[in-house]
Chains A and B, each alone.
Chain A
Amino acid sequence: MKKFMPPIILAVLCFLPLVGLSSYAMHILVLVIMWSIIGMGWNLLGGYCGQVSFGHAAFFGMGAYSSGLLYYHFGISGWWGLLVSIPVLTITSLVIGFICLRLRGAYFALATLALGEVLRVTAENLVKFTQGDLGILIKQRTWVEKTWYFYVILLLAAGSFLLVKKVMESKLGYYFVAIREDQDAANSLGINTTLYKTIALCLSGVLTGMAGAFYMNYMGYIDPTTVFPLYDISIVTVMVVMVGGVATYWGPVIGALIMVFLAEVIRSMPKIGAAHQTLFGILLIFIIIFLPNGIVGDFRKITGLFKPRGALK
């Protein structure tokens, strides 16, 4: 049964646009799927390999700008960004890895946080190259309808899901988890921890960057504060995975679903709208205390709440 879940869900999603959803509903779906990919990327590095990053906006923004700058400087389709973001993000990840991966735990998290901010400020100030705060606008969107964007991001998500699964079932996956559980022990068991942390970082960066490249093409406009923000991207990425379930295949998907819906609901409330960060903060504390393994990780605990008493083991 479990084995058939991914193809069944994929098939259902493929047919969804045919039932005639509103443009708004399609938009939400696209966002959910995009956030799933970012979450899967973060999960590889933070969830499985144990290197918690608070700077994933750096990857997202680099991907978005790869796409935007290709269009802006060379006049070619922004979709090339999806391909170009792979080498760009690999290099970005190598540089970030070189700086941050020698640090451990909270120090690594703080260093990634700082680097994300550094990239935002850089994008704001390299005005000649990036147009700074003016941002980049793609004048002609590829499609008017959301349907094709939906299929593109769905394909990317399916690919990412498969990639994560393949990686985690291979030697790489075992090494990532070994590093998460105990770096020194892993090292003395023959695992080149620096090398494998760097590989996790590159994979993570590339997945997140491709989501960024998609975002550029989908939204048609980016500027430094929308693609490099500390809160709206870096922190929300961590929340997506924590809410859904760290180090689980479906965690990022469930987390993205909940976070995107929650953001929409909260934003639409007239008085609370502006306080959505506060509400997210409270939600995060709640999750950490009651569901430390996220919704997927603590699924038994949640279903247990609804069972009649006594049925609990």
Chain B
Amino acid sequence: MSLLQIQHVSKRFGGLAALTDVSYSVEKGKILGLIGPNGAGKTTLFNVVNGFYPPTKGEVLFKEERISHLQPYQICKRGVGRTFQVVRPLQRMTVLDNVIASAFLRAKDKAGAERIALDALQFTGLYDDRSLVSKSLPLGKRKKLEIARALATQPEMLLLDESFAGLNPFEQNELIDIIRKVKAKGITIMIIEHHMKVIMSLSDQVVVLNYGEKIAEGTPKEIGNNPLVIEAYLGEAERA
């Protein structure tokens, strides 16, 4: 069953077509990798799914319900959590308070919120850092905090925007483990990632965007052999 359906979504910023007629669906319980060169429109697509931008055309369905006219907080309530590419922890709050703030969404009272938050911290390996001020965390832990916060809203689907960028190989492996554990909980994941190793080892399905258009979709293996994809990436490497 497809949990999330993206149907003919286009998004324009003035004259710029950030997304053009993108369609695909994400199957329940699976991990979908979203790849593409810089500026391809990946984050914009997350912003459309998450409700920050209404699509210029097309719509997004979550569990068969149209969500593309809703506000981000309503979409979160329906079960879609997200992290940001540029990490945005609530700087002056402690790690625990950060997660409690989002745990209140499903908790009846503060004790309940604290329980959910501590669970999420344990799950992401931040339990021992819980009383630190978020501002003082190193990047690797901030990325985990982003995930802990999103998990505390108890989502059915998680959108991860470049969670691996800037992490060292050790932290990358930790994060791969965390994402596998999230999947094992039955949470569906859509992940934007540049590291091919990560995408290929985690994803069940991969979608490739280039200049706002979907140029390929398939299993990691199919994508790895797709000439269009190779060209898009090689093209970028040559320009860089």
Say whether A170 contacts B110, CB under 8 Å. yes
A175 at the B interface (CB under 8 A): yes
Say whether B93 contacts A185, CB under 8 Å. no
B195 at the A interface (CB under 8 A): no
Compute how far the CA of A182 lies from the CA of B146 in the bound complex, rounded to whole angstroms. Answer: 13
Say whether B50 contacts A178, CB under 8 Å. no
Among the 9-residue stretches A188-196, A209-217, A218-226, the one with 4 or more Cβ atoms under 8 Å from chain B is A188-196
How many chain-A residues does the 8 Å CB contact rule pick out? 19
B113 at the A interface (CB under 8 A): yes
B180 at the A interface (CB under 8 A): no
Say whether A181 contacts B153, CB under 8 Å. no
Question: Which of A170, A185, A192 meets B84, CB within 8 Å?
Answer: A185
Segment 113-166 of A: residues with Cβ below 8 Å from B: none
With A191-B73, A193-B73 in contact, is A171–B52 under 8 Å at CB? no
Compute how far the CA of A177 lies from the CA of B100 in the bound complex, rounded to whole angstroms. Answer: 12
Greatest chain B CB density within 10 A among A170, A171, A177 is at: A171
Say whether A185 contacts B90, CB under 8 Å. yes
Say whether B71 contacts A187, CB under 8 Å. yes
B101 at the A interface (CB under 8 A): yes
Q: Give the residues in chain B near A171, CB-CB below 8 Å.
A: 104, 110, 113
Say whether B100 contacts A174, CB under 8 Å. yes
Tell me what chain A mostly uses at the interface: helix, strand, loop, or mixed.
helix
Say whether B101 contacts A174, CB under 8 Å. yes
Task: Give B130 Cβ to nearest chain A Cβ, in Å.
Answer: 15
Question: Which of A174, A184, A187 meets B104, CB within 8 Å?
Answer: A174
Say whether A177 contacts B73, CB under 8 Å. no
Say whether B73 contacts A187, CB under 8 Å. yes
With A171-B110, A177-B101 in contact, is A189–B84 under 8 Å at CB? no
With A188-B52, A190-B73, A190-B102 in contact, is A177–B113 under 8 Å at CB? no
Say whether A174 contacts B97, CB under 8 Å. yes
B189 at the A interface (CB under 8 A): no
B105 at the A interface (CB under 8 A): yes
B35 at the A interface (CB under 8 A): no
Say whether B105 contacts A190, CB under 8 Å. yes
Say whether B90 contacts A178, CB under 8 Å. yes
Compute how far the CA of A189 lies from the CA of B113 in the bound complex, rounded to whole angstroms. Answer: 14
Say whether A190 contacts B153, CB under 8 Å. yes
Q: Give the residues in chain A near B102, CB-CB below 8 Å.
A: 178, 189-191
With A188-B52, A192-B73 in contact, is A175–B90 under 8 Å at CB? no
Q: Which residue of B lies closest to A174 (CB)?
A: B101
Compute how far the CA of A193 lies from the CA of B104 in the bound complex, rounded to whole angstroms. Answer: 14
With A171-B104, A190-B77, A191-B73 in contact, is A184–B110 under 8 Å at CB? no
Task: Give A64 Cβ to nearest chain B Cβ, in Å.
Answer: 35
Task: Give B156 Cβ to nearest chain A Cβ, in Å.
Answer: 13
Compute how far the CA of A292 lies from the CA of B179 in the bound complex, rounded to whole angstroms. Answer: 40
Question: Which of A169, A182, A188, A192 meets B50, CB within 8 Å?
Answer: A188
Task: Give A181 Cβ to nearest chain B Cβ, in Å.
Answer: 4
B2 at the A interface (CB under 8 A): no
Say whether A189 contacts B153, CB under 8 Å. yes
Task: Give A178 Cβ to nearest chain B Cβ, in Å.
Answer: 4
Q: Give the residues in chain B near A188, CB-CB below 8 Å.
A: 50-52, 72-73, 75-76, 82
Q: Can you pick out 10 interface pairs between chain A and chain B where the beta carbons lie within 8 Å of each other?
A: A170-B110, A171-B104, A174-B101, A178-B90, A178-B102, A188-B50, A188-B52, A189-B102, A190-B73, A192-B73
Top 8 A-B pairs ranked by shortest CB distance? A181-B90, A190-B76, A190-B105, A189-B102, A174-B101, A185-B88, A187-B72, A188-B72
